[in-house]
Structure 1
Amino acid sequence: MPSKKKDPTMTDQMHFCNYCAITRDEKPLFQCGRCKAHMYCSRECQKADWQKHKFICETNTAFFNHIEEQSNSLAGLMHRRTLVDGISLSEYNERIRKWVRFHNTTIMAVTTYALRLPEDETRARRYVLYIKLGPRPQAEHQGAAGKYFRVVDAEVLTCTEAAKRPSPWPESLEQLKIVQDAEEREGKGTVAVAMVECPPLAIQIVPFGQIKDMEGGKVYEGWKSFLMKWVEQGKKLRIPL
């Protein structure tokens, strides 16, 4: 009998175990419980990837803990007077995390085009995509994660330019190079990143690994207008094969 298993979509193939690269179409994946940034297919893969994942995980976890502490401080109470919808800094950060998770595939696709990776995958080692967000009020987002923020601006920065920005930019780029070196040594391709910022919070690092075999494809020149329009409409990008 013919198999009833559906062919994987490109979206499925963009979600994979950060260690063995198996896709979510082949095996269920779960997020790292601490940092919510990387995905794995098993505890064994998560453990094996720890040395590469350690910096991102510990940095993100420390950041989340700091935000939680700030939210309960006097400064945190003052933030409620200025942040959208009167929410706390912790709730604001959680909205950003949900927004990034919702638009992950869109950010990945746009990063690919913005860095012109189909022309030269090694550009991921020399450039990053910077995305600046602005919050949207309840009247606009109506509780929909995809509409919590709008894209105010987006630009490609050289790693040299980015490294001159305030902390945690330099540290993040140093760690990115370490991870890229490790991925390439293991034949897994390289890693590209988008740096997402929504003041008053620091940048959120959104990494995409397993970048390989892209060369020869087309680059979509209208990536910025597409990103701004797609996010404004709160749409989730789904790319079929």
Structure 2
Amino acid sequence: MPVIDSRYGIYIKDSKPVKVCQWIDCPDAEIGYEDRKMKMCARCNVVRYCSKSCQRLDWSEHKLYCQISPIMDIAEWMERHESLFRWALIEGLRLRSKPSNIFQYVLLVEITRMDRLMKGVAPSPFFVESMRLKKFSDMEAFMTPDPCKDSRKIMEAGGIGQGIVVFQVSDRRPGGYTLFRFQYHDFHEKPSGEEGPSRTGWENVTMGVVNGEIPISLLSRRIEGPPDAASSK
């Protein structure tokens, strides 16, 4: 299933799928499927089989996660979780005590298309694999010539600056694409210089909520409210 970006009207064509039968005990696995015509599961449009026999034999396992694939709109997915990624920027960059970090780092979020995972096809079209801070210099090939331009304008007006979240979408296929998308967050709040309570594990909290593993109701209301520059380790 191709990825779309409704914000920019972009349609990203699927890379050519690898020919492999989903049934783990397929008798033809050793000789390969180069000259075989593969059939895709009509319900989830994710897994493929070399024969109806293999599909029947694999059904007891596949039925546990066979679901209709969601529309893979990366712009809609990013917007849905925007407040969480903003919160992660505040926590990861420690914007209360070290506002200068906004001029040095971006938040890199590595995600995988849900239909590329062997298990767990779910209503969410993307799965967050990892989150970490990266220096601007490490992302130079994908950034604008002056990524801090807007940050300086906000800083001159008394604010902290503009935080950047970079989403790297892996295709998980040989020769498949790697897509980069950006999300910008303006912080007009004045830096306080005060260190708040240490909040560890901001990466796991954000990934847990986005991936549906942690109910949003269990988290602090501060995540959904205005940013308060709470700090992390």
TM-score bin, normalised by smaller chain: 0.5 to 0.7
Aligned to 2:91: 113
Bigger fraction of residues in helix: 1
Contact persistence 2:154–2:188 (CA under 8 A): no
Aligned to 2:102: 124
Aligned to 1:162: 139
TM-score by length of 2: 0.56
Aligned to 1:98: 76
State yes or no: 1:149 paired with 2:120.
no
C-alpha offsets along residues 182-214 of structure 1, whole Å, 9 cap, x if unaligned? 222233431111111103242111111024235
SS at 2:152 equivalent:
helix
- Identity percentage of aligned residues: 12
Instruction: Report the Cα distance in structure 1 between the residues aligned to 2:71 and 2:164, rounded to whole angstroms.
Output: 19
Select which of 190, 197, 200 maps to 2:161: 190
What is the aligned-residue RMSD (CA, Å)?
A: 3.3
Instruction: Report the Cα distance in structure 2 between the residues aligned to 1:81 and 1:197, rounded to whole angstroms.
Output: 20
Instruction: Report the Cα distance in structure 1 between the residues aligned to 2:45 and 2:157, rounded to whole angstroms.
Output: 46
Instruction: Report the Cα distance in structure 2 between the residues aligned to 1:124 and 1:161, rounded to whole angstroms.
Output: 15
Pair member with larger Rg: 2
Aligned to 1:46: none
Q: How does 1:35-114 map to 2 (within 5 A)?
A: 36=7, 61=8, 64=9, 67-68=10-11, 71=12, 76=13, 79=15, 81=17, 85=45, 95-114=73-92
Structure 2 unaligned spans of 5+? 19-43, 47-68, 171-176, 226-233
C-alpha offsets along residues 93-113 of structure 1, whole Å, 9 cap, x if unaligned? 952111111111111111111
Select which of 187, 210, 213 maps to 2:187: 210
Bigger fraction of residues in strand: 2
C-alpha offsets along residues 157-201 of structure 1, whole Å, 9 cap, x if unaligned? 1222222xx3xx232xx3421111222223343111111110324
User: Match for 1:111: what amino acid?
Assistant: L
Contact persistence 2:111–2:127 (CA under 8 A): yes
Structure 1 unaligned spans of 5+? 1-33, 37-60
Instruction: Report the Cα distance in structure 2 between the residues aligned to 1:35 and 1:176, rounded to whole angstroms.
Output: 24
